[in-house]
Amino acid sequence: MSPTIYKSPYPDVSIPKSSVFTFLFGTRTPQSIGGFPASKKAFIDAASGAYITRAQFLDLTLSFAYGLRTHPNTKPFAKRGNTVLIYSPNLLAWPVVLLGSVAAGLRCTPANNAYTSQELLHQYTDSGAKLVITTEDGIKTIREMFAKLGISKEEGNRRIIVIGRGLQWAGGPSAKPSADAAGLLTMEALLNGGKLKEEEKFDGPLIHETAFICYSSGTTGKPKGVETTHHNIVSELSMFGPNFTPLEKEDVMLAILPFYHIYGLSQLVHFPFINGLTVAIQTRFEPDAFCANIERYKVTHSLIVPPVLVALARHPAADKYKMTTLRYLCSGAAPLGKDLVSQVNNRLRKYGVRCDIVQGYGLTETSPTTHLLPHTEAERMMGSIGYLMPNLEARLVVDDDGKVDAEEGGAGELWIRGPSVMKGYLNNPTATANAITPDKWFRTGDVGQVDKEGFWYIVDRRKELIKYKGFQVPPAELESILLGHPDIADCAVIGIDDPEQATELPRAYVVAAHLEKLTTAKDKAIFEQSVVKWMQSKVARHKYLRGGVRVIDIIPKSAAGKILRRELRDRAKQEKAG
């Protein structure tokens, strides 16, 4: 039987055949860049108010690219197709070093800035990166990573570019460098040499070269490098438009989601620039600063994850600041309940805030957004992830090999096909073949449903991935670490729901190697707690076992040895109910 293929209710859009850089900056005159005034603010450092205009953004990226290409430290590693790793929280410099690297023809692999040296090591080696761009706070971790790789301090120092604490380069405050940064090459120094005359071109078939390598565990296993091409990003950005998001001339977006995650990378760095929005960058989410920044910068738009809505529903900061400019909030990366949206709407409306709260859905592998609720439907279709984006096709598959599609209105695994689907997992043809079928369908591992009007819902997740506040927590990664614990014989990690915080929490079920020693409930509790603590010394914060550890006799497995996670999830539900 032929498959049931769904399309967007919106017509396909034409997609320019250009590189990311040309798409952003291609049409430029001294007065205008990408169709908006060159003097318009592009990015603001929310804490200090320092900013760069669109023209400065272009100049700085070309200067950074030139510095990369010509400085003796970076020159050997700044050849087209080489990879540079960014290990930094969201800062004003972030878009500059990203687009500067892209202009020089490099691929960028952005890493979680909370990663430990061990976690970072995987991404650094797997991506084939040689250069690392980091902040003064990141130097120590990078040096630890180099030491683990047997790279001498001297050699390691040549591979580091430091984003200093000061913002003089953007007209902002200056700051003294720390002792750690002494002798290292700084971003500021790279900006001072000259300007690349022309960005590296990715035309014709070269649009399919890789631009970004974000890490995702996909449906199973450890984090893998997702090869996002120039064409993927340009396609993704072209699919949006006024149909989905309300856009006006003076709109300001508040950026709190991490730029290293594809959601932030695409929607907070690229999307606003293309659409002429100004982005105020808040380095860390904190409810008070979030609300204060909305007032201070007259913010109209923000992209969020469900726990931010929990803060807007309950935190006292929402009573304290004037947020009447806010018109659009888009939540994604994790399921969002209708009730939470209603609570936020009710609270904000008391203060005269009329804001469309919508939901989007996407994956690292789809660059990312595949579905988005048009703002005009925010109220009526609360809880839906909205329409399929134009230029994409979708299926709802019931069996494993894609032969049977769901009946009309029924649920199935969501498969996506289109120009924003990744090239594949870096150096991992097996994982790529498991994720993308020969006829180019990408399996999301999520269970979806679509109604008669074309509104989509995510109703379940088939894959093992856990999401803590929108961050990926790959169970396989935690399980392999837990198996290194001397007192753990076997284990499985699952996500348990925490409706209060609108998130999942990672929980480990473990078989103790010396069960005979855990004779009392107290012994067990002490052991479980010690494992929680032990894990905290090994991984970034979002992977902590916040759902706790439970000792059990045996991990349920299939005949083939696969962990039966569903059984553990049912067990967790029963424990809660009991």
Residues that bind ligand 4UV (CB under 6 A): 216, 262-263, 267, 330, 332-335, 359-364, 368-369, 372, 385, 444-446, 458, 461, 467, 470, 472
Contact status, residue 493 vs residue 479, Cβ threshold 8 Å: yes
Residue 278's contacts (CB-CB under 8 Å, 6 or more residues apart) are 40, 41, 42, 43, 44, 51, 251, 252, 253, 272, 297
Q: Which is nearer to ligand 4UV, 164 or 362 (CB)?
A: 362
Least distance to ligand 4UV, CB of residue 551, Å: 29
Q: Which is nearer to ligand 4UV, 127 or 364 (CB)?
A: 364
**Helix, strand or coil, per DSSP, at residue 163:** strand
H or E stretch covering 147: helix 139-148
Using CA atoms, how far apart are residues 506 and 546, in angstroms rounded to an integer? 6
Least distance to ligand 4UV, CB of residue 149, Å: 27
**Helix, strand or coil, per DSSP, at residue 480:** helix
Contact status, residue 355 vs residue 365, Cβ threshold 8 Å: no
Q: Which is nearer to ligand 4UV, 456 or 509 (CB)?
A: 456
Least distance to ligand 4UV, CB of residue 385, Å: 5
Q: Which is nearer to ligand 4UV, 54 or 467 (CB)?
A: 467
Least distance to ligand 4UV, CB of residue 402, Å: 18
β-pairing, 252-255 vs 301-304, is parallel
Least distance to ligand 4UV, CB of residue 277, Å: 15
The pair of structure tokens assigned to 125 is 């080696």
**Helix, strand or coil, per DSSP, at residue 509:** strand
Least distance to ligand 4UV, CB of residue 128, Å: 21
Least distance to ligand 4UV, CB of residue 478, Å: 16
H or E stretch covering 269: none
Using CA atoms, how far apart are residues 488 and 440, in angstroms rounded to an integer? 41
Quickly count: other Cβ atoms within 10 Å of residue 557's Cβ: 13
Least distance to ligand 4UV, CB of residue 229, Å: 17
Peptide bond into 173 cis (omega under 30): no
Q: Which is nearer to ligand 4UV, 265 or 551 (CB)?
A: 265
**Helix, strand or coil, per DSSP, at residue 533:** helix
Using CA atoms, how far apart are residues 326 and 373, in angstroms rounded to an integer? 18
Least distance to ligand 4UV, CB of residue 468, Å: 11
Alpha helices in 297-392 (DSSP H): 306-314, 317-320, 338-350
Q: What share of the chain is helix, strand, coil (3-state, %, to 5)?
A: 35, 25, 40
Quickly count: other Cβ atoms within 10 Å of residue 199's Cβ: 23
Least distance to ligand 4UV, CB of residue 299, Å: 18
Q: Which is nearer to ligand 4UV, 187 or 389 (CB)?
A: 389
Contact status, residue 215 vs residue 471, Cβ threshold 8 Å: no
Using CA atoms, how far apart are residues 535 and 506, in angstroms rounded to an integer? 12
H or E stretch covering 59: helix 54-70
Least distance to ligand 4UV, CB of residue 39, Å: 29
Please state the length of the chain. Answer: 578
Q: Which is nearer to ligand 4UV, 6 or 471 (CB)?
A: 471
Q: Which is nearer to ligand 4UV, 210 or 216 (CB)?
A: 216
Of 544, 539, 542, residue with least CA distance to 122: 539
Q: Which is nearer to ligand 4UV, 442 or 527 (CB)?
A: 442
Q: Which is nearer to ligand 4UV, 82 or 359 (CB)?
A: 359
Contact status, residue 211 vs residue 20, Cβ threshold 8 Å: yes
Q: Which is nearer to ligand 4UV, 317 or 334 (CB)?
A: 334
